Amino acid sequence: MCTSLLKRMGITHVLNAAHGKEKNCGLVNTWSGFYTESGIQFLGVPAFDNIVFRIHPYFEEAATFIDEALKSGGKVLVHCQAGISRSATLVCAFLMLKRGFTAQEAVKSVRKNRAIIPNDGFLRQLCDLNDKLNRKQIVDDI
């Protein structure tokens, strides 16, 4: 939440994977206007860290946000409340959608850099994405 620190770190884009106002629900209250003065681009995903939350509808938008930021030479901070489930899941989805990783490769790659524990529901949704991408690859190969 310290925009001056983010700027010193070279952050150009922030993806808040816990976007919302209810702190007692594990949400983090930032929004695009919070970063306007600093010139940081923002995307908020209003995800709850529970096994029934449908995070998969946000996979493509989050992956595109990260990908476009990186392609423009930017540096992206992807965060949630604890940084181990919601944000990790969206980073894994980015690796799968934009870098061709399998779900297992994506989780393993992120775990090389930090401890993550996506909840079981999020892992299931990453597996479903993996299956969908595999089916698409098979069709594309035919």
Catalytic residues, by residue number, are 80
SS3 state of residue 85: coil
Q: Is the dihedral of CA 22, 18, 30, 112 positive or negative?
A: positive
Picking from 97, 45, 41, the residue whose alpha carbon sits closest to that of residue 73 is 41
CA distance 82 to 116: 10
CA distance 110 to 141: 28
Contact 35, 14 (CB under 8 A): yes
